[in-house]
Amino acid sequence: MTKPILVSGIQPSGRLHIGNYLGALKNFVELQNSGKYQCYFFIADLHSLTESYTPEEKHKQILELTADFVAAGLDPKKSVIFLQSQIPAHSELAWILSTITPTGELRRMTQYKDKSDNEKDSANTGLLTYPILMAADIILYDAKFVPVGEDQVQHLELTRTLARKFNSRFGEIFIEPQPILTETPRIMSLKNPEKKMSKSDPSSCVFLDDSPEDIRAKFKSATTDSGNEIKFDKAKPGISNLLKIFSAVSGESIKESEKMFAGSTYSNFKGAVAESIVAHFTDFRKRKSTLLARPKTLTNLLSSGSKKASLRANRKIKEIKNRVGLTV
Ligand code: AMP
Ligand code: TRP
């Protein structure tokens, strides 16, 4: 039996933080290594053009994210690793899907509302149509599974709706994909545990390639709660977030982690969480800087992955165009 297809992407729009890692990238590596899927992982560079950037920055961000992927354990021998913009079929399918997408569906997307909130009419159109391109990224590959963080689940629901709609109008051609979430699908900001850790607010983030000193300082000043018990509890969002982070990197359950820190002070606990992160990313940091010293290897890796991905994508877009009647 052929293995089910799994697809996911990350935007090259800045350094990865531990939310990206614990919600997505760490799981990409585990899913890849499980051997149960045909994996496609890509750099969502077209999506990232919806945020401000310079061309020099963009090029650098693409290389950095490719290095992040490989340093974290994605392996071009096991997964197809590619660059979205190298495969025109993504944009072509996005256009076709846009003609069956009601604008109202896009306007009610939480991410769009958050990102366009203070821009109103000047928000770029790409921010609005972003989920259509994401749907295209997924259904173009007949993906059954999509590992993502919780903030992307609404976009996946739209993807399913569009696949269904297209199928009922033009005949069964697309699979409705399902999200795969981790135990930590929503890591919260260290400054404000009521808000998600987000690249758009760098002060809320611990980055994967932060220096050990920075990591320690950030955890030291993390917002905690009243009381003094290390306990997973809705009323203790700061401590609960730290427990989740610790549990995810150490592999200990939340219950075990609570036991380990029973009687410990908040300050000692924060120090221990910081050390677990410092240790977890020591090799990652080394591998990343080695990879970045050889940018040509990274661009070659992407080109060869994109070649492989386009075999599947080109076959599919041809079939889609046929269904729609775009044939002469
Ligand atoms: P992005 O950088 O927006 O492309 O996000 C990359 C991946 O990280 C997506 O699957 C997101 O859902 C996930 N992600 C982003 N922020 C968080 C967070 N705070 N906690 C868990 N997952 C996250
Ligand atoms: N929108 C995703 C994010 O911001 C990135 C993304 C683009 C993606 N296309 C995708 C994720 C397809 C999964 C599948 O995190």
pLDDT at 201 over 90: no
Given pLDDT bands bounded at 50, 70 and 90, which one contains residue 199?
Answer: confident
pLDDT over 90 at 146, yes or no? yes
Q: What is the DSSP letter of 24?
A: I
Identify whether 115 is a catalytic site residue.
Answer: yes
Say if CB 61 and CB 286 are below 8 A apart: no
**Whole-number pLDDT of residue 118:** 77
Question: 1 pLDDT band (50/70/90 cuts)?
Answer: confident
Span 255-265, pLDDT tens digits: 999 999 999 99
For strand 178-180 and strand 145-147, is the pairing parallel, antiparallel, or unpaired? Answer: parallel
Least reliable range by pLDDT among 121-135, 191-205, 208-222: 191-205
- The reported pLDDT for the residue numbered 324 is 97
Ligand at shortest distance from the CA of 109: 2
Range with lowest mean pLDDT among 107-111, 120-124, 247-251, 263-267: 120-124
Element (H, E) at 106: helix 103-107
Q: What is the pLDDT of residue 202?
A: 85
pLDDT (0 to 100) of residue 145 = 98
Closest-CA residue, ligand 2 atom 13, reads 8
Q: Would you state the pLDDT for residue 282?
A: 96
**pLDDT score for 311:** 98
Q: Is the pTM of this model over 0.85?
A: yes
Residue 44 C-alpha to ligand 2 middle, in angstroms? 7
Return the DSSP state at 25: I
Q: Whose CA is nearest to atom 3 of ligand 2?
A: 10
pLDDT at 120: 75
CB atoms inside a 10 Å sphere around CB 253: 11
**Euclidean distance between CA atoms 151 and 169, whole angstroms:** 29
User: Can you give the pLDDT at residue 328?
Assistant: 80
Mean pLDDT for the chain overall: 96
pLDDT for 93? 98
Q: What is the pLDDT of residue 204?
A: 84
Give the pLDDT of residue 258. 97
**What was the pLDDT predicted at 151?**
97
Q: How many angstroms separate the alpha carbon of residue 230 from the centre of ligand 2? A: 34
**Is the model's pLDDT at 63 over the cut of 90?**
yes
Sketch out the chain's domains with CATH numbers. Answer: 5-186+295-324 (3.40.50.620), 210-280 (1.10.240.10)
Report the first-to-last Cα separation within the chain, whole angstroms. 36
